[in-house]
Homo-oligomer: A and B are copies of this chain.
Amino acid sequence: MDGVVTRKAQKDDCASVMDLIQEFAKYDPDGPKICQKTLEEDGFGKDPAFHCFVALQESKVIGYAISYLSYSTWEGRSIVLEDLYVQPSYQGIGIGSALLKEVTQYGLDLGCSRVNFYSLKSNYTALAFYKAKGAINLTEAEGWDLFEMNKKVMGQFIRE
């Protein structure tokens, strides 16, 4: 990780982070529907919806982590890791760990009891990374499945 630093993201980083979000999502034809402006408004205005950390080499953003605060009626404040991405040519040298440590420390500072995240069960690289950090697969261990009502379903349900 020589020459690589991690820090809290600033509004000025949003263009670079948006590029990496697109890069991270390249495997999916649907792609992210948000843009740089959304990211700036949602993360760096009043009541930010997420917190972002970036990894830089010589001022170039080469990785990011996005998290938000969540809540458990069992353990109180907790934190969710929404995205963790390091550009392929910089992977394997500890930058992902450094970004995850930023998120974890941030969560501990705010009194969070746990870090949660989702991963595709087919993403073996990610699964090995998280397992090495001590994360447990709660879907396998306890049977927790993830559900979603999308915006169309939300609208239909409200009008029922």
Contacts and interface: CB of A to CB of B under 8 A. Distances in A.
B146 A107 contact: no
Nearest to A117: B147
A32 B73 contact: yes
Q: How large is the interface on A (under 10, 10 to 19, 20 to 34, 35 or more residues)?
A: 35 or more
| Copies, count | 2
Given A71-B82, A76-B38, A119-B144, A100 B157 contact: yes
Nearest to A107: B154
A119 B147 contact: yes
A158 B101 contact: yes
A137 interface: yes
A140 interface: yes
A15 interface: no
Contacts of A146: 116-118, 137-139, 144-146
A108 to B, nearest CB: 6
A49 interface: yes
Interface in A144-160: 144-151, 153-158, 160
A98 to B, nearest CB: 11
A143 interface: yes
Given A30-B74, A135-B148, A135-B149, 6 more contacts: A34-B75, A42-B76, A71-B82, A119-B147, A136-B148, A137-B146
17 contacts: A25-B73, A31-B74, A33-B74, A33-B113, A34-B76, A42-B76, A66-B73, A68-B70, A70-B80, A73-B82, A113-B150, A114-B154, A115-B148, A118-B144, A118-B145, A133-B153, A134-B156
